[in-house]
Amino acid sequence: MKNAHIRVLVILAILSLVGIIGSQVFWLNRAIEQQDQVFNHNVQAALRNVVESLCEANGKDFPSVNPIEQVSGNYFIVRTNDRIDLANLEYLISAEIKKRAISQDFEYGVYDCQNDQMVYAENVKLDRIPTAEILPVLQNEEYYFGVYFPEKSKSLMAGFDLWKFTTSITIVLILFFGYALFVILRQKRLSEVQRDFINNVSHELKTPLATLSLATHSLAEKSKDDNRYVSIIQSEVERLQKNVEDILHASLIETKTDFVKEPIELKSYFEELIKELKNQYASRMISWQLDLDVQKTILSNKVLLENIIRNLVDNAVKYGGKQIRIHLIQDHKKTHLSISDNGKGIPPVYQKKIFNKFFRVPDEQHQHNEKGFGLGLHIVKSAVSKLGGKVDLNSKQGTGSTFIITLPNG
């Protein structure tokens, strides 16, 4: 995965998580605020009814100024400035609170208006069974009282179990994202180390292989009478050179992004390339058929095109192809290239995997009798992709395969 792709992935993931967390926090705060407003409204309405009942019991009118003041989020003061019957007060507060579906316990205290000193306080449990409790009688004429809800915050949050669940899921997602990002970056580092190692090893092998190839040619010229062992050495050197070239080409195509395109006259280019291939596979007694129905030039890359053709032909020869047909045709926008062989074909179960890196089609005994690293068709797929085209396969087991490549003309 490229650095730019990883950066985009990380940025999008971070933005998504920030958006999810931000929206959750926003709506959670809105929901809590609404719940708080509803609670405050219900408490104030309940206390207003308590004041009305107390005024009615004392034979006075309801105060012209609102006697209810919310001092804090869970504490309310009611300035009745009148006589208070403690037994009646506790009953009225409990009844009005229960009427508005408030299930919280509360504390209340009664204060003397003259010195603001508390004269009585009680902690009320709404679920307790009322008892015949003897309460003191307040002698003064002016009192006010306050009501305190100690469990208000806990009660408000108790109604948000779904929010707690989604928050937990979000935290798990964040942890999973962090772990996935760590794995991706570590895998990327390992991939870079592996790629650098392969490139270094391949380059280090090229020089001694070239030297060996030159030496075997010299030996072959000097020992014309009996060059059987020299031929073996030369064949193995060529095979090693082919494997090293495959590794280098695969690495180059995967990592390089700026392949220069140039106008290519396809007919002469293919005729020259097929001539080289005929000489390369002369000992295989292969029948060649070349159909070049092209007039236009194509804007492409010669190195990538050569890699495509050579690997497809090599794959056809490797798996039994004795008749190879190369057909090239153009329309006003695209160039269509097909390479067919009469080899043993590719079983349907493997046809979706053949372009995977290092994949090789096994035989009936699930063995790999043909030599190689499984890079040829992967190079073809990568090269076609770099040229902006696509590659398709039409293969039937026992009757051969046809690879169809479509490339843009410009």
Mark whether 176 and 303 lie in a shared domain: no
* H or E element at residue 76: strand 75-82
Mark whether 295 and 399 lie in a shared domain: yes
Q: Which of 158, 189, 213 is the last residue of a domain?
A: 158
Cα gap 406→403, rounded to integer Å: 10
The arrangement of strands across the sheet holding 287-293 comes to: 287-293, 323-330, 334-341, 400-408, 390-396
Q: What is the pLDDT of residue 64?
A: 83
Written as six digits, the tokens of 14 are 């971070």
Mark whether 214 and 140 lie in a shared domain: no
Percentage of the chain lying above the pLDDT 90 cut: 13
What value does the mean pLDDT take over residues 194-221? 67
The residue with tokens 């509803």 is 38
The residue with tokens 């026992």 is 398
Q: Which of 117, 133, 158 is the last residue of a domain?
A: 158
Mark whether 166 and 239 lie in a shared domain: yes
pLDDT confidence bin for 404, thresholds 50/70/90? very high
Q: What is the pLDDT of residue 247?
A: 66
DSSP notation for 121-166:
EEEE-TTSPP--PPPPPP-SS-EEEEEE-TTHHHHHHHT-HHHHHH
Q: What angle do CA 169, 173, 162 make, to 5 degrees?
A: 15
pTM over 0.75: no
Q: What is the pLDDT of residue 228?
A: 65
What is the count of structural domains for the chain? Answer: 3
Q: Is the pLDDT of residue 259 over 80?
A: no
What are the pLDDT digits (tens) for 65-98? 889 999 988 899 998 888 888 888 888 998 898 8
Mark whether 32 and 154 lie in a shared domain: yes
Mark whether 229 and 291 lie in a shared domain: no
Written as six digits, the tokens of 128 are 């307790």
What are the pLDDT digits (tens) for 289-338? 888 877 778 888 888 898 899 889 988 888 778 899 999 888 888 999 99
Q: Is the pLDDT of residue 26 over 50?
A: yes
Mark whether 331 and 195 lie in a shared domain: no
Mark whether 73 and 211 lie in a shared domain: no
pLDDT confidence bin for 114, thresholds 50/70/90? confident
Burial class (CB in 10 A: 0-12, 13-18, 19+), 286: middle
Q: What is the pLDDT of residue 402?
A: 92
What are the pLDDT digits (tens) for 120-133? 888 888 776 655 56
Mark whether 153 and 283 lie in a shared domain: no
pLDDT confidence bin for 200, thresholds 50/70/90? low
What value does the mean pLDDT take over residues 188-201? 68
pLDDT confidence bin for 399, thresholds 50/70/90? confident
Coil, strand or helix at 96: helix
Cα gap 399→304, rounded to integer Å: 28
Q: Is the pLDDT of residue 152 over 80?
A: yes
Q: What is the pLDDT of residue 111?
A: 92
The residue with tokens 């090269």 is 383
Q: What is the pLDDT of residue 75?
A: 92
Mark whether 217 and 86 lie in a shared domain: no
Cα gap 323→378, rounded to integer Å: 23
Mark whether 175 and 148 lie in a shared domain: no
Q: How do beta strands 118-124 and 262-265 pair?
A: unpaired
Q: Is the pLDDT of residue 282 over 70?
A: yes
What is the span of the domain harbouring residue 222? 161-254
What are the pLDDT digits (tens) for 344-387? 888 888 888 888 877 878 765 544 455 666 778 888 888 898 88
- Between 257 and 361, the more confident residue is 361
pLDDT averaged over the chain? 80
Q: Which of 31-35, 130-134, 199-203, 244-248 has the lowest mean pLDDT?
A: 130-134
Mark whether 278 and 396 lie in a shared domain: yes
Q: What is the pLDDT of residue 2?
A: 60
Q: How many residues does the chain have?
A: 410
Q: Which of 239, 254, 269 is the last residue of a domain?
A: 254
What value does the mean pLDDT take over residues 14-39? 82
Q: What is the pLDDT of residue 131?
A: 54
* H or E element at residue 87: helix 86-99
CATH code (residue 215) = 1.10.287.130
- Between 160 and 10, the more confident residue is 10
What value does the mean pLDDT take over residues 25-53? 88
Q: What is the pLDDT of residue 366?
A: 47
